[in-house]
């Protein structure tokens, strides 16, 4: 049974249609949060909401394009109007490009990845921070990646964007500390998501898992647990930090 550490809090989860976002939305709701499941994928997002409500939780879907400021502003407004405020946000939406050498990366690809993975986080934070700072504070968690620390070979835009997310996180944590808002990040390593499974056959997935320290790839729920803690009162003196969820891969 969940410990209900997020009871009554209105929380936005972007990228909530699958993977880490879906697992997080479901966990937050199980812990008492009122969840806005936000995504471009309407079918997947509504499936997440249905899973939450069928388990006795509360959730509403917001179709959002995180690269468009009007769309992001409407998402925050929906959270406030539906649940009476905004207390937390997990800015998790993101994509990765197909692997390519640095010199072969198309400018169009670069712009697309940064628009979603970095500008999208900036726009979400801008509107979330504005509301939280005026209404008693809150907590924000952004999804970076181990690629935001060491780089991901073959993924130039993704690596740059995820480094940028860490910079935004630190800056906002300092700027909003006395306005009641905490801002942190999670940096997942290999996570068992539909995106990862879709990029490998079964043998490739098993071989990848075998190369990890524990011999397995992390579940999305293991990242969700970290995000839930960072959003909760258990982390009230934690801000500007990044929790790496990779079972020590970066340490090696």
Active site residues: 158
Round to whole Å and give the CA distance between 146 and 186: 9
Give the residues across from 181 on adjacent strands.
138
Q: Rounded to 5 degrees, what are φ and ψ at 183?
A: -135, 120
Q: What is the CA 24 to chain-centroid distance, rounded?
A: 9
CB neighbours of residue 56 within 10 Å: 8
CB neighbours of residue 212 within 10 Å: 16
8 A C-beta contact, residue 134 and residue 156 = no
Stated as kind and residue range, the H or E segment containing 45 is: helix 42-54
The contacts of residue 3 (CB under 8 Å, 6+ apart) are: 31
Nearest alpha-carbon partner for 15 in 84, 64, 75: 64
Round to whole Å and give the CA distance between 181 and 221: 25
């Amino acid at each position: 049974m969940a410990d209900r550490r997020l009871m009554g809090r209105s929380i936005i989860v972007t990228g909530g249609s699958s993977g880490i976002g879906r697992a997080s939305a479901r966990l937050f709701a199980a812990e008492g949060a009122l969840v806005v499941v936000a995504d471009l994928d309407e079918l997947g997002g509504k499936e997440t909401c249905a899973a939450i409500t069928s388990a006795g939780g509360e959730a509403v879907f917001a179709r959002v394009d995180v690269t468009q400021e009007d769309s992001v502003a409407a998402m925050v407004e929906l959270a406030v109007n539906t649940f009476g405020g905004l207390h937390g946000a997990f800015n998790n939406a993101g994509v990765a490009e197909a692997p390519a050498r640095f010199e072969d990366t198309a400018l169009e690809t670069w712009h697309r990845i940064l628009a979603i993975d970095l500008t999208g986080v900036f726009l979400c934070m801008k509107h979330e921070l504005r509301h939280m700072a005026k209404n008693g504070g809150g907590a924000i968690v952004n999804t970076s990646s181990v690629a935001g620390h060491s780089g991901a070979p073959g993924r130039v835009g993704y690596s740059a964007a995820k480094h940028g997310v860490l910079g935004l996180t630190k800056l906002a944590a300092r700027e909003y500390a006395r306005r009641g808002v905490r801002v942190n990040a999670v940096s997942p390593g290999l996570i068992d998501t539909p995106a990862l499974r879709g990029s490998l056959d079964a043998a490739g997935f098993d071989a990848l898992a075998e190369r990890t320290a524990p011999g397995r790839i992390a579940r999305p729920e293991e990242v969700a647990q970290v995000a839930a803690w960072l959003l909760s009162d258990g982390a009230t003196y934690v801000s500007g930090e990044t929790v790496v969820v990779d079972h020590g891969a970066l340490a090696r």
